[in-house]
Amino acid sequence: MWQAVKEIKGPYQFDRVIERHAIDPLNQVKLEKRLIKVPILIEEKRYVVDVKGLGTVEKPVFKLSGTDTYQKEEQIKRISEIFQWDVPLKQINQHFRQTDLRDIFEEHFGTPLVLDFDPYSCLTKCIIHQQLNLSFAHTLTERFVKTFGTELEGVWFYPSPQTVANITVEQLRAMQFSSRKAEYVIGIGKAVAEGRLDLDTLSRKSEEEIFNELIKIRGIGAWTIQNFLLFALGRPNLFPATDIGIQNALKKLYKLNRKPTLEEIEQYKLGWEPYLSYAALYLWRSIE
């Protein structure tokens, strides 16, 4: 058993972070205790780390604990990456005070762009969630993970690429996957398992290089790549202009009687760089 205390620079809205995680039935969250149990993978070894909020929005403090002391520092480092504890949210908030998004940033002050627990599960989840309403997407993902994944200390890990590569389309069809979605999920598992897709190497490449590599894979389109860049890699300057939620948020913000055109969106976002990902995040939050 190990424990550590981590203090970071505020602002940081941890309660909003775990409230969002609580929506997913796979996540182990105790809102009243300000606690989330996080599954992390380091060199294919599984760990569970408890992350408990102790501080305030302005002075965030976290207590971390785990049962496996092996690679403790790496576990802490990965938790810090997932929760984006080194991102200067105060600086980002100050940047947007000079823009049309100032009121939204004030309302959602200190909301971080938190990553999915690992890149492969993020990519798999994106494929499963494509073109589904959120409730059924969570249901389908939960069936998939609890059938083929691994449970450790009450926390579920997505199945490994090697496991997914050996699943049949018929097995996923029995869970209410469409044939095409089943083929996509299995195909990505095979690509990673066979070394045709190296997510570790990919994560160090430019956004253009990542797009050009992922777009070649069957089932992966622009929407999935943008989600992967945002929520697996935490790239700070991405703006998914074709996203319906973003368009609806901009329609509301600028009091339009229609969705904005892509040309209009290009004009709106001129002053939001180099933090376009945060503009997108806060716009999504503004219509939830």
Mean pLDDT over 247-251 rounds to: 96
Q: According to the model, what pLDDT value does residue 2 have?
A: 97
With cut-offs at 50, 70 and 90, classify the pLDDT of residue 288.
confident
CA dist 160 and 214 (Å) reads 19
CA dist 228 and 214 (Å) reads 10
With cut-offs at 50, 70 and 90, classify the pLDDT of residue 259.
very high
pLDDT > 90 in the chain, percent = 96
Mean pLDDT over 174-186 rounds to: 97
CA dist 226 and 93 (Å) reads 23
Q: According to the model, what pLDDT value does residue 255 have?
A: 95
Q: What is the pLDDT of residues 154-179, one digit of tens each?
A: 999 999 999 999 999 999 999 999 99
Question: What's the mean pLDDT when you consider all of the chain?
Answer: 95
With cut-offs at 50, 70 and 90, classify the pLDDT of residue 132.
confident
Q: How buried is 4 (Cβ within 10 angstroms: 0-12 exposed, 13-18 middle, 19+ buried)?
A: middle
Mean pLDDT over 66-84 rounds to: 96
Write out the residue limits of the CATH 1.10.340.30 domain(s) in the chain. 119-231
pLDDT > 70 in the chain, percent = 100
- Does residue 182 contact residue 173 with C-beta atoms inside 8 Å? yes
CA distances from 164 to 15, 161, 192 (A): 34, 5, 10
Q: Which CATH superfamily groups domain 2-86?
A: Fungal kinase associated-1 domain (3.30.310.220)
Q: According to the model, what pLDDT value does residue 131 have?
A: 86
**CA 100: distance to chain centroid?**
26
Give the side-chain half-sphere CA count within 13 A for 187: 14
Q: According to the model, what pLDDT value does residue 272 have?
A: 97
For every residue of 160-185, which 3-state class applies, written as one string? CHHHHHCCCHHHHHCCCCCHHHHHHH
Mean pLDDT over 68-80 rounds to: 96
243 catalytic, yes or no? Answer: yes
With cut-offs at 50, 70 and 90, classify the pLDDT of residue 70.
very high
Which among 24, 68, 100, 243 is annotated as catalytic?
243
Q: According to the model, what pLDDT value does residue 224 have?
A: 92
119-231 fold? Endonuclease III; domain 1 (1.10.340)
35-42 and 28-30 strand pairing? antiparallel
35-42 and 155-157 strand pairing? unpaired
Mean pLDDT over 119-145 rounds to: 94
Q: What is the DSSP letter of 113?
A: -
- In three-state secondary structure terms, 147 is helix
Q: What is the DSSP letter of 279?
A: H
Q: What is the pLDDT of residues 6-37, one digit of tens each?
A: 999 999 999 999 999 999 999 999 999 999 99
Is residue 123's pLDDT more than 90?
Answer: yes
